[in-house]
Structure 1
């Protein structure tokens, strides 16, 4: 992992350094070789995706939103939003991922930033609510994923959690049941996003 990443600072949250890939193809190939598999999902953990950057910026600018609270960074990738929550004073910052390499990246990134992030391995969808705030960045990129997670996120909202969904204009964002809370223009690379900027909207998921 370290051989294919470098310490860099996401443009929207430069105060949080991360181990990030500079190109997608070499680290993708290295991940396939390490796992001994072909056709795996891209190494999402190796990039600071626009949704995670927007969530991290929101949390750092408004620390009272998470201070003293139990926070889940859902589909955390490299743990950027969880690290921001920890830095903002969360009582617990937890990162949920099904990819063990993402958890390894989160451990490295948390250590780099001098914070503690709790790991939630495996699929947490369907778990009882044990959090005050759930941060979900850029999760509506495929219909199966959206259909899998949205009923659970709405249930968490109905149970009193603040569920914040950050979306940069993906095709499968629900058309109803969301309330906008913030908006950010996030610089991105053409290799990942075929453009140089994504406008990310943060929504509160309504029960």
Structure 2
């Protein structure tokens, strides 16, 4: 899977977080077709792009390293691993990238290696469990009703037991309305994915 990630993407700086480089795809539809070339339905290649919420959250963590320094961090639904890499760069004691997509975890591994940081991996669905990390980070997780319905209780449980829980979100449809804003950014995005060249993104605390 690492070979697939590296073959179908190119290493390039992240627009809003240029100190981090990711293996990124130029053509989202073409890449999705390649992931399904063996006839098996695959999730969208969320791992091949720097999504708006993740870029804002990574920027916030890098600009406020005290939030994660010497603490354990879980990057939920890591996608490319951008936020996990940012947490590791900011001095987290341990960073765990979680995703249900094996290609996502392969991308997170490749991206951590490319940025010379160490990121652990947790495969599978964690949403019915309780996070044990000191800090839980989640970028762009409120894109569907089904995802929001499951992820929000997980995040609230983590916050209730004392974890710092931060979410990066560009106004997705199912963002809850009772989160506390921490920062706002104008983030450059891929127009073929977002239909606009910039998104206003807020970092929220649960």
Give yes or no for TM over 0.5.
yes
Contact 2:130 2:157 in 1 (8 A): no
1:41 is displaced (CA, Å) by: 2.5
1:128 is displaced (CA, Å) by: 2.4
Other-structure match for 2:26: 22
Q: Map 1:1-207; keep pairs closer than 5 Å.
A: 1=4, 2-34=6-38, 36-38=39-41, 40-176=42-178, 178-205=179-206
1:27 is displaced (CA, Å) by: 1.0
Q: What is the CA–CA distance in structure 2 between the aligned matches of 1:119 and 1:12, rounded to whole Å?
A: 25
Contact 1:129 1:159 in 2 (8 A): no
Unaligned runs of 5+ in 1: none
Alignment partner of 1:9: what SS? strand
| RMSD, aligned CA | 1.0
1:182 is displaced (CA, Å) by: 0.7
Deviations 1:51-88 (CA, angstroms, capped at 9, x unpaired)? 11111101111111100000111110010000010011
Q: What is the CA–CA distance in structure 2 between the aligned matches of 1:10 and 1:23, rounded to whole Å?
A: 16
Unaligned runs of 5+ in 2: none
Alignment partner of 1:114: what SS? coil
Count of paired positions: 202
Contact 2:43 2:101 in 1 (8 A): no
Alignment partner of 2:158: what SS? helix
